[in-house]
Amino acid sequence: METQLEKRLLELYNRAETRGIYVESHFLTEGEQGLLASLLPQGAYTLEGGFAEAERCIAVFGRAEELGYPWESTLCLLQIAPKDMKFSEELTHRDFLGALLNLGIKRELTGDILIKDRCGYLFVLEQIAPFLQENLERVRHTAVRVTPLAALPEGVAVQFEERVVVAASNRLDALICAVWNLSRSEGKELVEKEKVSVVGKTVTDPAYGVPEGMRVSVRGYGRFYYDGEAGRTRSDRCRMRVRVFI
């Protein structure tokens, strides 16, 4: 039986196909992106989050080669900056997200939040950008102003911690255990309970071999990129290069 989200995504795809136009979804979580990947073939849509490492993305249905023109982004980038840096608090991702939710903004209308130098950078659907500019005045106790930007400023990016971890192989459960120092049974259970996705697609086989360069997400723990082997230990175990999102 189709879920409401499945019906909605298929409806958007069919609308794009029958009308010959681009059609967009709301922002999708990685789990929802995995669901979409199970419904439609590769190439039936593209994912856009405003920048390369975005976790939350909209699905854009419609192909330029068929429509004859490229998709023009309808995402808006907003900077949420303290009005006076001198009196600003140290603001976290949770603080910025809480301020948005307190205004009644649905999470599906907003993308990733990046933070640098006490400022938040947020991609949103264009219909809510004016509302946020007019009504978002405070994050925690800090007075802020909201300004649209054409692009992310230099240096604003997802932060990674580069590590070399030791695992028996590139099995999905083995990598998860190595990154977060879990027991083999814990890693296996996370995979089998559908809490793990690879590039947005849920994987339920603990023995799945993770290809080099792939992004792995584990609900409740975080995300990392697997960047391949970095040699062997004396006991012939694998040294694995990973980049963990922080």
The class of domain 160-245 in CATH terms is: alpha beta
246 residues of the chain, pLDDT tens digit each: 569 999 999 999 999 999 999 999 999 998 898 889 889 987 899 999 999 889 899 999 999 999 999 999 999 999 999 999 888 889 998 999 999 999 999 999 999 999 999 999 999 999 999 999 999 999 999 999 999 999 999 888 888 899 999 999 999 999 999 999 999 999 999 999 999 999 878 899 999 999 999 999 998 899 999 999 999 999 899 999 999 988
CATH 3.30.1370 describes domain 4-67: yes
Given a contact cutoff of 8 angstroms between Cβ atoms, the answer to whether 179 and 165 are in contact is yes
CATH code of 75-149, in short, is 3.30.70.330
Q: What are the C-alpha distances in Å from 191 to residues 116, 207, 208?
A: 33, 10, 10
What is the C-alpha separation between 178 and 191, in angstroms, rounded? Answer: 14
Any bridge partners for residue 57, and if so which? 28
Domain map (residue ranges) of the chain: 4-67, 75-149, 160-245
